[in-house]
């Protein structure tokens, strides 16, 4: 069976919250990528910045011949106008539909990958009863309940939080041997499939300060994290740890692993957002299609002011293309 080259089909970009910076960074990303990486924007054309050159299309394949001269748009009618900085729950259904449609296109192979612009979970919940903590969980649902992990990546660091959108007080109960094992297995498989790393090196952070310091600051590392790491090594995984999180992210330490798995959200996201706030990419590993997203939110405070930096979205689109190529599709 023959497979299409990376640029025979465009990347699908779902619009995200139209009251955030999604529409303007999409327009600016097109200006920079139109000659090299075709993508199609899924959303309401009226929400794009005034003056954006667009070409409405009916199927993604049309984007390949139009991306050089205009931003290809798969039009999706929304219920309300987009007021910068003022999320409208009336648009929640449209935002969700854009994600679903982009997912369908990626799963059918009509789009080479899916990239998603930032959403506002509260607006989606208020306006459409959105029952998922975020993009990652919704995409797993659309993919039939796929077991996935969220990875944040830039040129100098990849991090995976084992627990994601939960309160810090819930982490010690949610961070279990079964969850950590699953996270390691999905991460290792994803790094091999999507990044071409045959036997990826994975560093695992401890849950407690100083990785428990021999039991003085917590016993999880002694009781089960270190034994599980030993088991995973015996099974052939190139894992190390548990490492103190406060010494895991300096320059020399980062040369010793391909990805770091952390116990909770901020343990993973603070270092990568410090290192690459404008270039970080959110990747969902474990899906049957490639999905990336810029590693920032809706930025309502600067929406509509022409100040939004498209660098993270550009990095996400480029990474999606590289990941698809790594899959040999």
Give the tens place of pLDDT for each residue, 17-31: 999 999 999 999 999
**pTM score, whole prediction:** 0.92
Instruction: Tally Cβ neighbours within 10 Å of residue 266.
Output: 14
Q: Do domains 1-148+287-329 and 156-275 have the same CATH topology?
A: yes
Measured CA to CA in angstroms, residue 143 lies from 140, 251, 286 at distances of: 5, 37, 10
Residue 291 assigned as binding residue: yes
Q: Rounded to an integer, what distance in angstroms lies between the CA atom of residue 169 and that of residue 151?
A: 22
Say if residue 52 carries a ligand binding annotation: no
What is the mean pLDDT of the segment spanning 282-305?
Answer: 95
Token code pair at residue 280: 């970080």
Query: Is 307 labelled as part of a ligand binding site?
Result: no
pLDDT of residue 165: 84
Q: Say if residue 253's pLDDT is above 50.
A: yes
With a cut of 60, say whether residue 186 has pLDDT above it.
Answer: yes
165 assigned to a ligand binding site? yes
Q: Where are the domains of the chain?
A: 1-148+287-329, 156-275
Instruction: Quick: pLDDT tens for 107-150.
Output: 999 999 999 999 999 999 999 999 998 888 999 999 999 899 99
Q: Please check if 3 is assigned to a binding site.
A: no
The predicted pLDDT at position 4 comes to 39
Taking all residues of the chain, what is their mean pLDDT, rounded to a whole number? Answer: 94
3-state secondary structure the chain: CCCCCCCCCCEEEECCCCCCCHHHHHHHHHHHHCCCCCEEEEECHHHCCCCCCEEECCCHHHHHHHCCCCEEEEECCCCCCCECCECCHHHHHHHHHHHHHHHHHHHHCCCCEEEECCCCHHHHHHHHCCCCCCHHHHHHHHCCCCCCEEEEECCCCEEEECCCCCCHHHHHHHCCHHHHHHHHHHHHHHHHHHHCCCCCEEEEECCCHHHHHHHCCCCHHHHHHHHHHHHHHHCCCEEEEEECHHHCCCHHHHCCCCEEEECCHHHHHHHHHHHCCCCCEEEEECCCCCEEEECCCCCHHHCCCCCCCCHHHHHHHHHHHHHHHHCCC
Say which CATH topology domain 156-275 has.
Answer: Isopropylmalate Dehydrogenase (3.40.718)
Q: Which CATH class is domain 1-148+287-329?
A: alpha beta
Annotated binding-site residue? 243: no
């Amino acid at each position: 069976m023959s497979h299409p080259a990376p640029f025979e089909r465009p990347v699908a970009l779902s619009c995200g919250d139209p009251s955030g910076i999604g529409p303007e960074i999409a327009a600016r990303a097109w200006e920079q990528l139109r000659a090299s990486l075709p993508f199609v924007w899924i959303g309401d054309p009226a929400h794009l910045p005034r003056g954006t050159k667009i070409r409405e299309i009916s199927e993604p394949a049309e984007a390949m011949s139009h991306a050089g001269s205009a931003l290809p748009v798969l039009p999706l009618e929304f219920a309300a106008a987009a007021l910068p900085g003022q999320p409208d729950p009336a648009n929640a259904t449209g935002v969700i539909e854009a994600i679903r449609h982009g997912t369908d296109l990626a799963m059918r192979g009509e789009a080479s990958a899916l990239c998603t612009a930032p959403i506002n979970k509260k607006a989606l919940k208020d306006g459409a009863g959105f029952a998922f903590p975020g993009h990652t969980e919704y995409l797993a649902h659309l993919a039939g309940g796929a077991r996935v992990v969220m990875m944040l990546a830039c040129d100098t660091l990849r991090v995976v939080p084992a627990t994601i959108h939960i309160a810090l007080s819930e982490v010690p109960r949610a961070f279990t041997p079964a969850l950590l094992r699953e996270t390691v297995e999905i991460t290792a498989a994803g790094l091999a499939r999507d990044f071409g790393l045959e036997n990826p090196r994975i560093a695992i952070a401890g849950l407690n300060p100083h990785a428990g310091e021999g039991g003085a600051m917590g016993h999880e590392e002694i009781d089960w994290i270190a034994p599980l790491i030993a088991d995973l090594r015996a099974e052939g995984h190139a894992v190390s740890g548990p490492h103190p999180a406060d010494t895991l992210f300096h320059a020399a330490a980062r040369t010793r692993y391909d990805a770091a798995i952390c116990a909770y959200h901020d343990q993973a996201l603070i270092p990568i957002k410090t290192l690459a706030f404008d270039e970080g990419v959110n990747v969902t590993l474990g899906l049957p299609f490639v999905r990336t997203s810029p590693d920032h939110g809706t930025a309502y405070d600067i929406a509509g002011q022409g100040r939004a930096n498209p660098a993270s979205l550009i990095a996400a689109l480029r990474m999606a293309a590289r990941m698809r190529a790594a899959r040999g599709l």
